[in-house]
A and B are shown apart, each in its own frame.
Chain A
Amino acid sequence: MTRKSSILVSLVSIIVSVVVFLIPFAFIAMTAVKSPDEARALDFSWPSEWPIVENFQTVIETRNYMVVAAFINSTILTVSSVALLVLFGAIVAYVLQRRASRLNGLIGFLVLAGLIIPPAVVPTIWVLQEVHLFKTLSGMILVEVAYGLPFTVLLFRAFVATIPRELDEAAIIDGAGPLRLFFTVIFPMLRSVMITVIVVQSVVIFNDFAGPLYFLPGDDAATVQLTLYNFQGQYNTQYNLLFMNILLITIPPLVMFVFFNKRIVAGLTSGAIKG
């Protein structure tokens, strides 16, 4: 590209990106801080008054502080599921990578199947009911772990392959048992891929809508994604509150994005090059 055309292309790209990507987000933010009447117009205009605090307060207080409860539920769900995923994923990936056994083919197949097959929702509800975990946060946590495990194992396994086997051998010669070997030698080495797993999976689980919709119904246990329907009536949607709520649930992923953008991209594209 010549310098002149390169500047032109840059300029066009930036303008298009503003129209296509930035305006929808600006629209969310601006509608969220408008008065009910102004928000109802649905237009892209600068707010004439700024009832930010009122809107925030109303969203928080609606239906007896449901949003607050939902943020607590979502946090517990996300943190617990991700913690279990990291633990399980790292162990499975390590054993899978280090020990060739007849099970390896089967596990490889199950990982692949888990990435492809759509979960059977109603039978899962049936199973959860049988084990008395339906409509419980613990049940939801375990479901997220089951659904997230294949991708987590995939990420960990690629990384374990890069840790030299000599390290294991040295630890064994020094008299470390399998548990000690894993937790004191291998686990700390997985730090970088672990951050990737934590960031990617927490965004996925925090944003999960269908899971809580099926397995965690009811207002008490609602997660943040389900609170959006609080402000959407059939006839009178409260747009300023709806968008304030959208803004609130966009903040956690935004924070992740600002601090861990490179990690997220690395995690999501790993394996893409090898196919």
Chain B
Amino acid sequence: MWFYLPAAIVYSVLFIVPTLASFYFSLTTWTLFDSYFIGLDNYQQFFNEPALYKSLINTIIYGVVTSGAKVIIGMALALLLTAPVIGRGYLRAIVFFPVLVSTIGVGLTFQVLMDPFDGLINTTLAQLGIDGPGWLTDPSYALLSIAAVDVWKGVGLATVIYIAGIVSIPSEYFEAAKVDGAGAWQRFREIILPLSRPATTTVILLSLIGGLRSFDLIWAMTRGGPGFTSDVIGSVIYKQYQAGFYGLSTAGNVVLFILVAAIVFPLSRLFNRREVDL
């Protein structure tokens, strides 16, 4: 058992202990050196202050939107990229490459591309006679614009997972469908969709976990702005930490933990049960 020891020490000290400690410190006013127990005040503040509470709503919106979009677009791209198209190798590569690029680099690049006046997106739209909105400066678009960039960067992962799922479907199914005279839609609806359910499960869970925890991209693109309209829990944790409210920041962490666990654990159990039923 001593084989486990080095890994166990690092993992316990730097992951398990902080996670457990966060429950206590979220109930305190905390300076890292002293902590003073104040009960649920931090949570009360979190749920009462609009600037903080909004981040919880935004986190859920962001997680659901990015996850849903990655499922649909990822599946569509996988269908395309398992079909006999010209330039398939190039297409697979270019769709996947953004997954490996620095999130901050992508965020700053799109911040420039989405500039309301000089940005490439709006100047192009203007040439087509469309008046592009302030993607990141208009409060009603900021969060969704970032979500769109998240999908741009992450859909490649969803796509390769779906490709792996589709490729692993035994060809007998498709041959049988051909004999029965099934069309493309039926082939998708009756074979590909049900048999790539494990891939769908993985894509949903992975992108939900990533989406709910996201911080980098939002920080690079808007820092939660304008105002706090695109703040998510991840950025609130950082802002409160920077402001020196360590107890409140940690309470944000616990809220995020509970949110992620409350969504992801039941979902993964539900998915697993359904698979057994099949």
Q: Which residues of A contact B14 (CB under 8 A)?
A: 124, 127-128, 142-143, 145-146
A88–B175 CA distance with the chains assembled, in angstroms: 46
Q: Provide the main secondary structure of the chain A interface.
A: helix
User: B115 contacts A88, CB within 8 Å?
Assistant: no
Residues in A whose Cβ lies below 8 Å from that of B123: 43
Q: Which of B47-55, B78-86, B129-137, B139-147 contacts A (4 or more CB under 8 A)?
A: B78-86
A123 with B18: in contact, given A27-B113, A232-B108 (CB under 8 Å)?
yes
Tell me if B164 and A272 are in contact (CB < 8 A). Answer: yes
Q: A1-B83, A27-B109, A275-B275 are in contact. Are A246 and B94 (CB under 8 A)?
A: no
Could you say which residues of chain B place their CB within 8 Å of the CB of A124? 14-15, 18
Contact A92 B10, beta carbon cutoff 8 Å: no
Instruction: Check if B87 is an interface residue, CB within 8 A of chain A.
Output: yes
Measured between alpha carbons, how far is A207 from B97 in the docked complex, in Å? 14
A44 within 8 A of B: yes
In the complex, the answer to whether A116 meets B21 with C-beta atoms within 8 Å is no
- A242 pairs with B108, CB closer than 8 A: yes
A120-B104 contact, Cβ under 8 Å, with A21-B98, A257-B97, A268-B157:
no
Interface residues of B in 78-124 (CB under 8 A from A): 80, 83-87, 90-91, 93-105, 108-110, 112-113, 115, 118-120, 123
Report B218-246 CB contacts with A as 1/0, cut-off 8 Å.
01100000000000001001100100001
Q: Are A1 and B216 in contact (CB under 8 A)?
A: no
Report if B69 contacts A (CB, 8 A). no
* Nearest chain B residue, comparing its CB with the CB of A125: B32
Contact A13:B91 (CB < 8 A) given known A119-B15, A210-B216: yes
In Å, the complex CA distance between A203 and B101 comes to: 8
CB distance from A264 to the nearest CB of B (A): 7
**In the bound complex, CA of A24 to CA of B38 (Å):** 49
User: Are A273 and B164 neighbours in the complex by a CB distance under 8 Å?
Assistant: yes
Do the beta carbons of A149 and B11 come within 8 Å of each other? yes
User: Does chain A have a CB within 8 A of B199?
Assistant: yes
Q: Is A115 an interface residue (CB 8 A)?
A: yes
Interface residues on B, range: 35 or more
Question: B241 to chain A: which residues have CB within 8 Å?
Answer: 121-122, 214
Q: Is A127 within 8 A of B13, CB to CB?
A: yes
Q: Kindly state the separation between the CA atoms of A256 and B235 in the bound complex, as whole angstroms.
A: 30
Q: Are A123 and B21 closer than 8 Å at their CB atoms? A: yes
Min Cβ gap B118→A in Å is 4
List residues of chain B with CB within 8 A of the CB of A177: none
Q: Which of A1, A84, A121 makes the CB contact (< 8 A) with B84?
A: A1
Whether A114 sits at the interface, judged by CB under 8 Å, is yes
Q: Does A162 contact B (CB under 8 A)?
A: no
The 9 closest A-B pairs by CB, nearest first: A120-B22, A123-B18, A275-B198, A10-B86, A88-B7, A146-B14, A269-B164, A124-B18, A253-B100
Q: Please provide the chain A residues from 185 to 221 with a CB less than 8 Å away from any CB of chain B in the complex.
A: 203, 207, 209-210, 213-214
CB-contact partner of A91 in B7, B22, B120, under 8 A: B7
Q: Are B199 and A123 in contact (CB under 8 A)?
A: no
> Residues of A contacting B90 with CB < 8 Å?
14, 17
Residue of B nearest to A225 (CB): B104
Considering the complex, which residues of chain A in the window 1-43 have a beta carbon less than 8 Å from any beta carbon of chain B? 1, 6-7, 9-11, 13-14, 17, 20-24, 27-28, 31, 41-43
